[in-house]
């Protein structure tokens, strides 16, 4: 079960990275797919995590984005500040008053040394 969760996590991370790179380059899904010589429908399915691309397709997607395939396959964390804030808000909502006080004191030490 844990292995499956890790696979799903990596699939989502890959899809987010592809979409983020495509948008950063101001490429429509259709244009990126054309440059990578794959169908826009398949590209979209990958971005929505509905399809798992083969190695050949990953190379084609990298070509479409103008990046090396290793950029798409990197397993480094890529969360933006808004995602982290949302996750923190969800955690904070579950804190007891004592936990909330403790986290507040820790955060204060970090921010105001």
For tokens 């995590």, the residue is 49
Integer angstrom CA distances of residue 67 from 4, 22, 50, 59, 60: 28, 10, 23, 9, 10
Confidence band of 43 (pLDDT split at 50, 70, 90)? very high
pLDDT number for residue 7: 63
Would you say residue 81 has pLDDT above 80?
A: no
Confidence band of 97 (pLDDT split at 50, 70, 90)? very high
Each domain of the chain, given as residue ranges in start order, spans 2-73, 81-111
Its pTM surpasses 0.75: no
Mean pLDDT is lowest, of 39-48, 75-84, 91-100, for: 75-84
3-state helix, strand, coil in the chain (%, to 5): 75, 0, 25
* Domain 2-73: top CATH class: mainly alpha
pLDDT number for residue 4: 54
**What is the per-residue burial (b if ≥16 Cβ within 10 Å, else e) of 33-45?**
bebbebeeebbee
């Amino acid at each position: 079960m844990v292995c499956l969760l890790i696979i799903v996590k990596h699939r989502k991370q890959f899809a987010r990275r592809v979409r983020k790179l495509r948008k950063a380059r101001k490429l429509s899904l259709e244009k990126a797919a054309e440059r990578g010589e794959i169908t826009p429908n398949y590209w979209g399915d990958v971005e929505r995590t509905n399809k798992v691309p083969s190695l050949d397709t990953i190379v084609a997607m990298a070509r479409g984005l103008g990046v090396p395939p290793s950029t798409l396959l990197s397993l480094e964390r890529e969360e933006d500040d808004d995602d982290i804030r949302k996750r923190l808000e969800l955690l904070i909502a579950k804190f007891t008053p004592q936990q909330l006080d403790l986290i507040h004191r820790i955060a204060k030490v970090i921010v105001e040394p």
